[in-house]
Amino acid sequence: MLTLFAIPKAFEGHVGVIQRNALESWKRLRPACDVILLGDDRGTAEAAARLGFRHEPRIPRNASGTPLVNGLFAEAERLSRHELMAYVNADIILLDDFVPAVERAARAHRRFLVVGHRWDLDVPDPLDFADGWGGALRQRLERDARLHAPTGIDYFVFPRGLWGEIPPFAVGRTVWDNWFIFRARSLGVPVLDATDVITAVHQNHGYAHHPGGAAGIWGGEEARRNRALAGGDRNVYDLRDADWRMTASRVRRRPAAAVRDLSRSLRRLAGRR
């Protein structure tokens, strides 16, 4: 029914802990999903083998050795066993509301993009995935989690073949995720905000994996290149640009989207002067 794919970082230290937590949660999704782990960072092949996921180590990289988004999505589409696909960051825990929400989106639209806010939570240790783990985690979320700003986009659900040509963005640097919302809107594809029906849990972490830390991710050379490939700030969309909203009872068009569209149009006109 659904192929999930991700490109994990090296399974080292705390990052290794939270990625194992995330992948264990994906293993428990029902109906079961086809999961592909891409890339050859340390521990990825072992994690895939342990969980019964598929693994593709060969991903195109830029001159700095960073995987490229277009190569990542192309490989995932080539390997996918299903028409519905989901890219998910490898530190995101998914709960039992994920697949039912995807099924609802697919019934409502033939072509679509599902995105949503994430919940930020400190998870320092391996989770216990005994019976009832999801309910216990939801209690922690109610007590300790914080809803992330609309600029953070950690999962994309879409039908295979939606995107056309994807720029060679550097994975894990700024604005490439925002570009996907811009691209869907420019294609006239409904963008569904699923925050109310998908509980995506982001496990807080540091940025030691990048030589420049957080500043390098958002302001380094690769970040500047990503922004240029996206076409500049006028194409940096976020969750406020979703023109549909999923609720527990229905999938409906967002009235406020027209105001956001006007703002975008004025920015584009200003950019042409």
What pLDDT sits at residue 272?
Answer: 45
| pLDDT, position 220 | 84
What is the Cα–Cα distance from 21 to 198, expressed in whole angstroms?
Answer: 18
**What pLDDT score does 96 carry?**
98
CA–CA separation, 170 vs 256, rounded Å? 32
Phi/psi of residue 199, nearest 5 degrees: -95, 95
Residue stretches of the chain with pLDDT short of 70: 206-219, 256-273
For the chain, the 3-state helix, strand and coil shares in percent, each to the nearest 5, are 40, 20, 40
Q: What is the pLDDT of residues 101-157, one digit of tens each?
A: 999 999 999 999 999 999 999 999 999 999 999 999 999 999 999 999 999 999 999
pLDDT score of 217: 55
Residue 265: closest CA among 240, 234, 228: 234
Structure confidence at residue 263 (pLDDT): 59
Beta pairing class for 119-121 and 191-193 = unpaired
Whichever domain contains 21, its CATH number is 3.90.550.10
Q: What is the torsional sign of CA 95, 96, 97, 101?
A: positive
> The domain containing residue 47 runs over which residues?
2-272
User: Per the structure block, which two tokens stand in for 185?
Assistant: 């809107």
Cα Rg of the chain, angstroms: 18
> Based on the structure, what is the number of domains in the chain?
1
Distance CA 9, CA 11 (A): 6
Q: Starting at the edge strand that comes first in sequence, how are the strands of the sheet with 54-56 ordered?
A: 54-56, 34-38, 2-6, 84-88, 155-159, 113-115, 191-193, 244-246, 251-253
Alpha carbon 106 to its chain centroid, in Å, reads 18
User: Do 71 and 163 contact (CB within 8 A), yes or no?
Assistant: no
- Return all residues near 186 (Cβ < 8 A) that are at least 6 apart: none
pLDDT at 209: 46
Look at residue 255 in the predicted model and tell me its pLDDT. Answer: 84
